Amino acid sequence: MTATEKSAGITGSTELAGKRALVTGGTRGIGAAIVRQLLDAGAEVLTTARSKTNPVPEGAAFVEADVRTRAGAEAVAEAARDVLGGVDILVDNAGGARPFQNAWAIPDEEWQDQLNLNYLASVRLDSLLTPGMRERGSGVVVHVSSAAVPTSAPPFLHYTAAKAALRNYSRGLSLELAPFGVRVNAVSPGRTATPGGEATREEWASLNEGPGQDNTAPPLGRDGRPEDIAHAVLFLVSDRASWITGQNLTVDGGEFPLG
């Protein structure tokens, strides 16, 4: 634990003691950082991935499932009930994209894959797990969207469209669940230093036979770290955010002023 973390009371706390959390896509990058933050705050955590290629954060339970499918979502929900006995915190984090030169180059199957991964996976898991939250009269859902949504950047038009749908849905779901004491918010990361993000940038550069993307640092002078996003998620799922719902929190170092 760093001195900054100690002074901020970020890790090693018990503010989430007794809480049961599910984080999708939690074995690397932003997802793994979220899992570690929730564990450090005292929560019991179950995470998912399509395969166990990457190490599971120590202390977390794991279920292998593809949340892009209805069967995968059902398997995750069943594991959450079996392993955790229910879910108090749901972080729909699984997502990703590959670039295409332009919109008309994106095939139908890629559009469908992006909608399933970046939007419908959250819809399905929410529909399976929020009924338990409603019955208990409490719970928190966080959707991981993207700060790039307002830009609709052509190489990732399918991705930003899916994430825009997720953000819109997040707002609507928050209104539906608020009377039951369940909060729903979105977190939208900017450019963050993760293995997946780096692979995507390299793929885009290869398509363009050069840098392709603006590599200028955000106004705060650096790319984001996975922990930057995880801190925002930890705040939103904690009681410190008990009067916040239906909101989108952009965490991007000022990269997208309208994000």
Q: Which of the residues are catalytic?
A: 159
Q: Dihedral through CA 126, CA 127, CA 128, CA 132, nearest 10? A: 80
| CA–CA gap between residue 35 and residue 23 (Å, rounded) | 7
DSSP β-ladder status, 248-251 and 182-189: parallel
φ, ψ at 206 (rounded to 5°): -65, -35
DSSP 8-state code for residue 239: G
Q: Hey, is 138 helix, strand or coil?
A: coil
Instruction: List strands edge to edge, sheet with 61-64.
Output: 61-64, 44-49, 20-23, 89-92, 139-144, 182-189, 248-251
Tokens of 203: 């793929």
Tokens of 62: 């794991």
DSSP β-ladder status, 44-49 and 139-144: unpaired
Q: Are the CB atoms for 204 and 213 separated by under 8 Å? A: yes
| CA–CA gap between residue 125 and residue 208 (Å, rounded) | 37
Q: Hey, is 107 helix, strand or coil?
A: coil
Q: What per-residue string of b and e applies to 85-116 under the rule 16 or more CB within 10 Å gives b?
A: eebbbbbbbbbbbbbbeeeeebeeeeeebbbb
Q: Are the CB atoms for 153 and 191 separated by under 8 Å? A: no
